[in-house]
Amino acid sequence: MSVSVFDIFRVGIGPSSSHTVGPMRAAVRFSKELIAKGLDKDTHRIWVDLMGSLGATGIGHATDTAFQLGLMGILPANVDLDAAPGILEGIKKNHKLTLASGKTIDFDPSRDIILSPEKIAIYHTNAMHIIAQDADGKVLLSRRYYSVGGGFIVESDPNDFDKVSEAKETVHTKPQPYPVTTAADLIGWCEKTGLSIPEIVRANERVWWETDEKINEQLDYLWSVMKDCVARGLKHEGIMPGPLKVKRRAKQMYERLDFENRSLNDPLAVLDWVNAFAFAANEENACGGRVVTAPTNGAAGVIPAVLHYYMKFIDSADIQGVRDFLLTAGQIGILYKENASISGAEVGCQGEVGVACSMAAGGLAQVLGATPQQVENAAEIGMEHNLGMTCDPVAGQVQIPCIERNAVAAVKAVNAARLALLGDGHHYVSLDQVILTMLKTGLDMQMQYKETSRGGLAVTVVEC
């Protein structure tokens, strides 16, 4: 496979990987091409058509603001979250935007960001078409990008926007020692070599990242971003952005747990801790904070919550365990990305929170001492009981049901790992079978349940 664990886990900003991180990366790519071709000098105006799901829920997911920052050459991993609101306010007021080359163009967000939810592209519903024009209206550059989930973007053929020349964001081409296409391949390599799942994954990543030090550095960085995200979420309070006026709850949950020292006198308090960690990460995401896509922003609370559970409640937990957890979970995420989808707009929430649950279950089982077969079993359980889950964010905000759903999935992942550890690794449904089932279920799902805000809770819950 050509996807790395570090493509699945990316540092991004909230609230959505497909609607915020992907469009921001697409805008950066467009802007870079414009500058590289010297076309920025004659550019007078740039506008974008946000189609399908991007048009339907783009405003609630901050696609508009991510697009503007992306045009300026700012990537999700290095956006200054304190400065961004001021920059965006300036663009809105002055109708001017400065590209990374220093060239300033006319840009009026209300005129130049067009929402077209009714336009459904053949390749993928998350399509965005960007056009640069000179002062006479002549088109200088016209590109269409598809944001296919998890922050991944795919560029269309410039001569036929419904076709893509390369369906994957392939950046890694060197062959790996243990090629893995399916979960069966992964288990097969473990059986053949006697290596554990994270050892197999690490050996494959080493081809691309050269040394274990570099791999560890990246894994530790991801963990530090997750820790910061949870820490901020446990500190902040107030109302989240958007029309729903949802109150942040993580701080209150945490203070109650900490004050009452509930882990000592309530045998189920551990569930409350997992819930608080997940709420913290997802509330940060909903507020546009810095998160790790795991595998997406909407599902960015599950893995940090389960990792915090591991560090707080498992005596043998250490940084090496965190690394093994992330390598195992990342590989499971790659299997879903390559064989099915991690896009709520394509397969519903089973492809986001369901996949996160599966990844976390496998990662936790690994660091609790599971065999490769038990890890595969844990990951399979994590998805089996999320099959069919729709994506229906109320008011297009990644808040309801998303935040609570991450907490429920994190607890479910802990349970899935424990269930797998109680068995001997033999099970009836394989991880490959459940991945295929998830894909088929997602393809059969009616469009209104796939991140359109036109079905499910999004229509039965009335906005106040």
Q: Please tell me the distance from the alpha carbon of residue 245 to that of residue 201, in angstroms, as a whole number.
A: 43
Quote the tokens at residue 262. Answer: 């509930």
Q: How far is the CB of 143 from ligand SF4 (least distance, A)?
A: 26
Q: How far is the CB of 193 from ligand SF4 (least distance, A)?
A: 36
With beta carbons less than 8 A apart as the criterion, state whether 284 and 439 touch. no
373-392 residues in contact with ligand SF4 (CB under 6 A) are 391
> Interacting stretch for ligand SF4, rule CB under 6 A, among 20-28, 47-55, 212-220, 400-408?
400-408
If one asks whether residue 398 binds ligand SF4 (CB under 6 A), the answer comes out as yes
Distance (Å) of CA 463 to CA 237, 245, 457: 22, 10, 11
Q: Please tell me the distance from the alpha carbon of residue 109 to that of residue 105, in angstroms, as a whole number.
A: 12
If one asks whether residue 333 binds ligand SF4 (CB under 6 A), the answer comes out as no
Q: What are φ and ψ of residue 275, in 5° steps?
A: -60, -45
Please identify, using beta-carbon distances, which residue of 214 and 245 lies nearer to ligand SF4: 245
If one asks whether residue 130 binds ligand SF4 (CB under 6 A), the answer comes out as no
What would the DSSP string read from start to end of 225-284? HHHHHHHHHHH--SB-SSTT-PBP-HHHHHHHHHHHTHHHH-TTHHHHHHHHHHHHHHHH
- Please state the length of the chain: 464
If one asks whether residue 359 binds ligand SF4 (CB under 6 A), the answer comes out as no
Q: How far is the CB of 406 from ligand SF4 (least distance, A)?
A: 7
Which stretch of DSSP H or E encloses residue 335? helix 319-339
Task: Supply the angle between the helices 319-339 and 431-444 in degrees, to the nearest 10.
Answer: 50
For the chain, percent helix, then strand, then coil, each to nearest 5? 55, 10, 35
Q: Within its chain, how far is the Cα of 366 from the centroid?
A: 22
If one asks whether residue 105 binds ligand SF4 (CB under 6 A), the answer comes out as no
If one asks whether residue 300 binds ligand SF4 (CB under 6 A), the answer comes out as no
Q: How far is the CB of 117 from ligand SF4 (least distance, A)?
A: 15
With beta carbons less than 8 A apart as the criterion, state whether 209 and 174 touch. no
If one asks whether residue 393 binds ligand SF4 (CB under 6 A), the answer comes out as yes
Q: Please tell me the distance from the alpha carbon of residue 443 to that of residue 33, in angstroms, as a whole number.
A: 34
If one asks whether residue 59 binds ligand SF4 (CB under 6 A), the answer comes out as no
Q: How far is the CB of 241 from ligand SF4 (least distance, A)?
A: 15
Residue 41 CB: number of other CB atoms within 10 A?
11
How many helices (DSSP H) and strands (DSSP E) are in the chain? 20, 10
Tracing tokens 């038990």 back to the chain, one arrives at 374
Among 117, 233, 344, 363, binds ligand SF4 (CB under 6 A): 344
Please identify, using beta-carbon distances, which residue of 58 and 198 lies nearer to ligand SF4: 58
If one asks whether residue 451 binds ligand SF4 (CB under 6 A), the answer comes out as yes
Say whether 202 sits in a helix, a strand or coil: helix
If one asks whether residue 402 binds ligand SF4 (CB under 6 A), the answer comes out as yes
Please identify, using beta-carbon distances, which residue of 197 and 389 lies nearer to ligand SF4: 389
If one asks whether residue 299 binds ligand SF4 (CB under 6 A), the answer comes out as yes
Cis upstream peptide for 401 (omega within 30°): yes
Q: How far is the CB of 229 from ligand SF4 (least distance, A)?
A: 16
Among 71, 140, 197, 349, binds ligand SF4 (CB under 6 A): 349
> Interacting stretch for ligand SF4, rule CB under 6 A, among 78-86, 141-149, 349-357, 418-426?
349-357
> Interacting stretch for ligand SF4, rule CB under 6 A, among 80-88, 110-118, 344-352, 440-448?
344-352
With beta carbons less than 8 A apart as the criterion, state whether 309 and 210 touch. no
Please identify, using beta-carbon distances, which residue of 281 and 402 lies nearer to ligand SF4: 402
Q: How far is the CB of 381 from ligand SF4 (least distance, A)?
A: 19
Q: Return the residue nearest ligand SF4 (CB atom).
A: 298
> Interacting stretch for ligand SF4, rule CB under 6 A, among 113-121, 201-209, 396-404, 435-443?
396-404
245-274 residues in contact with ligand SF4 (CB under 6 A) are none
Footprint of ligand SF4 (CB under 6 A):
298-299, 344, 349, 352-353, 391, 393, 398, 401-402, 405, 451
